[in-house]
Chain A
Amino acid sequence: MGDEEILDVIVVGAGPAGLACAGEAAGAGLQVIVLERGDVAGGKNLSGGRLYLEPVKDLCADLLKDAPFERPVVSETVCLCDERSSLSFRLDQPTGNSVTVLRARLDKHLANRATAKGAMVLPQQRADELVMPAGRVTGVKVGPEVLKARVVVAADGVLSFLAQQAGLRPARETHTYAVGFKEIIQLDAAVIEDRFNLPKGQGAARLYMGAVTGGLPGGGFIYTNRDSLSVGLVVQLGAVRKWRSESHLFDLLEEFKQRSDIAPLLAGGQTAEYGAHLIPEGGFGALPSPGIPGLLLAGDAAGFVLNTGPVLRGMDLALTSGVLAGRSIVAGLKARQPETCLQIYRQALKQSFIMKQMRAHKKAPIVLSSDRLYRRLPEQMVNWATDFFRVGPKGSHPRMRQAFKGLRRSLGFRGLQDLWRLMRM
């Protein structure tokens, strides 16, 4: 790269957002490099996780062709937990609409696809800062070197130091982040299928809400991979900051694994890896502007994550925003009007499911930060179910009608209000 050379596009970050953008732009004939601070694409990345396929199956058909997915999720379970018991809702279907993934494998595949389309992915390169004379981004600095481009894309993830430098995220507000931490626990494929009652090659997702997070807003998860389980917790950092407890956060994961309704699923498994990563959970109200002149934000860097409780999505939004950013750059540069890229991108986002869904679920972050959802509600539901299934020493058990009346009484006005809010969210 000569000193004077001006590239078409520099993408910072080889995650789904950056690689989708790079593939799109390079595929249209632009000169694209991707800077990734890790040893390899995916080496720094971690999700729960599962990828919802419907939103991206057309847009990213090429990118996701032959992708190394773990298992299609055909079995969905939500478990409400008190300290010792849990009450579950479970749906088993013949086919699923999401697939479990491991990011080291998935992101490597995406990098290969982007490379095949002509993008150059450069690992071990940390973009240190934006070059922005007079408020317009013209390149990035990597160590002492300055790389120039017509457009820079910050796909550098949830902490996006570049978006911060551009003034798009001046203060990192604690309540707009959650932390997820998880283990990869290795188990034979056949054992997984047996324990989760799955047809061969199919997968399960289990989400846990209540005492598992020690009363903090958040939840636990188990996802089945081909021959491992992803087992972890997500908690909102705004609540962690005010957390009154003697425990450490990581203790909660150990307690989660040792619960009597979870330990049998993990028994005999070997922990192969431990990891942690933040999630931008501020929702619509916390979205930054998606760029400044010369700079576009995509994926987590732009705050594109939807958490509505049972559904947590970031990867399909990252892929989609990456493709849209790539297309907007192609349109702007082909018309020889690079300054229009941001406006085209903004428009494309507005018309996409990303902004529509983020807006539709804009109340979710507030509703989901109510303590009672994690303390009182799961406990009350478990208590009700316990009574419902119980035959007492006097030989009695409740009639259906009494049981439901009992539930209503124990939920009380507040509990019903919580349920109502959840349903209207």
Chain B
Amino acid sequence: MKVEDKVALCAIKQHAESHIQLDTSLCEKCPTKICIRACPAHLYTLEQNEVKVDHSGCLECGTCLVVCILGAVSWNYPQGGFGIRYRHG
């Protein structure tokens, strides 16, 4: 099963504004770009050599915030009432 299909099973109420911001000038210099391989929801991708993040499937775990070596990720929880809602947990 693809991870995109797994994320699609989750109940997520999307906020139009992203709660994840990247300082891509730092990402450019990042030797590992570990966020791409670490994010459990596969939100990070490399497009034309630039790291991109799509907040819409975010599980709000904070992995990217904690593994980023360069402090390029600014991250806050989505506004109250938005984001993931686990039905099982």
Pick the residue among A43, A125, A237, A273 that contacts B63 (CB under 8 A): A237
Is B59 among interface residues, defined by CB-CB distance under 8 A? Answer: yes
B89 touches A39 (CB 8 A): no
A273 touches B66 (CB 8 A): no
B39-66, CB < 8 A from A: 39-42, 59-63, 65-66
Q: A172-B66, A243-B37 are in contact. Are A248 and B86 (CB under 8 A)?
A: no
Neighbouring A residues of B78 by C-beta, 8 Å? 37
B10 touches A125 (CB 8 A): no
A179 touches B61 (CB 8 A): yes
B67 touches A272 (CB 8 A): no
Q: Please, what's the 1-or-0 string for A282-313, where 1 marks a CB less than 8 Å from any CB in chain B?
A: 00000000000000000000000000000000
Docked complex Cα distance between A123 and B80 (Å): 8
Neighbouring A residues of B29 by C-beta, 8 Å? none
| Chain A interface main SS type | mixed
**Chain B: number of interface residues, binned into ranges:** 35 or more
Q: A177-B66, A271-B6 are in contact. Are A184 and B38 (CB under 8 A)?
A: no
A104-158, CB < 8 A from B: 104-107, 123-126, 142, 158
Neighbouring A residues of B86 by C-beta, 8 Å? 42-46, 103-104, 273, 275
Q: A37-B80, A43-B86 are in contact. Are A179 and B37 (CB under 8 A)?
A: no
B61 touches A276 (CB 8 A): yes
Q: Please, what's the 1-or-0 string for B1-35, where 1 marks a CB less than 8 Å from any CB in chain A?
A: 10100110110010000000000000000001010
Q: Please, what's the 1-or-0 string for A231-274, where 1 marks a CB less than 8 Å from any CB in chain B?
A: 00000010011010101111000100000000000000001111
Docked complex Cα distance between A272 and B10 (Å): 8
Neighbouring B residues of A388 by C-beta, 8 Å? none
Is A346 among interface residues, defined by CB-CB distance under 8 A? Answer: no
Neighbouring A residues of B79 by C-beta, 8 Å? 126
Q: How many residues from A make CB contacts under 8 Å with B?
A: 50
Q: A37-B80, A276-B63 are in contact. Are A241 and B87 (CB under 8 A)?
A: no
Q: A273-B10, A275-B89 are in contact. Are A44 and B84 (CB under 8 A)?
A: yes
Q: A37-B80, A174-B66, A271-B1 are in contact. Are A276 and B59 (CB under 8 A)?
A: yes
CB distance from A315 to the nearest CB of B (A): 11
Is A102 among interface residues, defined by CB-CB distance under 8 A? Answer: yes
Q: A104-B86, A247-B37, A276-B61 are in contact. Are A37 and B67 (CB under 8 A)?
A: no
Q: A254-B1, A272-B9 are in contact. Are A181 and B40 (CB under 8 A)?
A: yes
Neighbouring B residues of A372 by C-beta, 8 Å? none
Neighbouring B residues of A184 by C-beta, 8 Å? 88
Is A277 among interface residues, defined by CB-CB distance under 8 A? Answer: yes
Neighbouring A residues of B60 by C-beta, 8 Å? 44
B88 touches A102 (CB 8 A): yes
Pick the residue among B40, B42, B76 that contacts A179 (CB under 8 A): B40
A39 touches B88 (CB 8 A): no
A277's closest neighbor in chain B, by CB? Answer: B61
A172 touches B65 (CB 8 A): yes
Is A320 among interface residues, defined by CB-CB distance under 8 A? Answer: no
Is A47 among interface residues, defined by CB-CB distance under 8 A? Answer: yes
Neighbouring B residues of A172 by C-beta, 8 Å? 65-66
A124 touches B65 (CB 8 A): no
B85's closest neighbor in chain A, by CB? Answer: A43
28 A/B residue pairs, CB under 8 Å, sorted by A:
A43-B84, A47-B89, A103-B86, A103-B88, A103-B89, A104-B89, A124-B80, A125-B80, A126-B80, A159-B65, A177-B66, A179-B38, A181-B59, A184-B88, A237-B63, A243-B37, A248-B3, A248-B36, A248-B38, A254-B1, A271-B9, A272-B9, A273-B86, A274-B9, A274-B10, A276-B59, A276-B61, A278-B63
4 shortest A-B CB distances, which residue pairs?
Answer: A103-B89, A124-B81, A274-B6, A276-B40
Interface residues of A (CB under 8 A from B): 37-40, 42-47, 102-107, 123-126, 142, 158-159, 161, 172, 174, 177, 179, 181, 183-184, 228, 237, 240-241, 243, 245, 247-250, 254, 271-278
Interface residues of B (CB under 8 A from A): 1, 3, 6-7, 9-10, 13, 32, 34, 36-42, 59-63, 65-67, 69, 76-81, 83-89
Give 9 new A-B contacts, CB below 8 A, not counting A38-B83, A275-B89. Answer: A125-B80, A181-B40, A184-B88, A241-B32, A243-B38, A271-B9, A273-B87, A273-B88, A275-B86
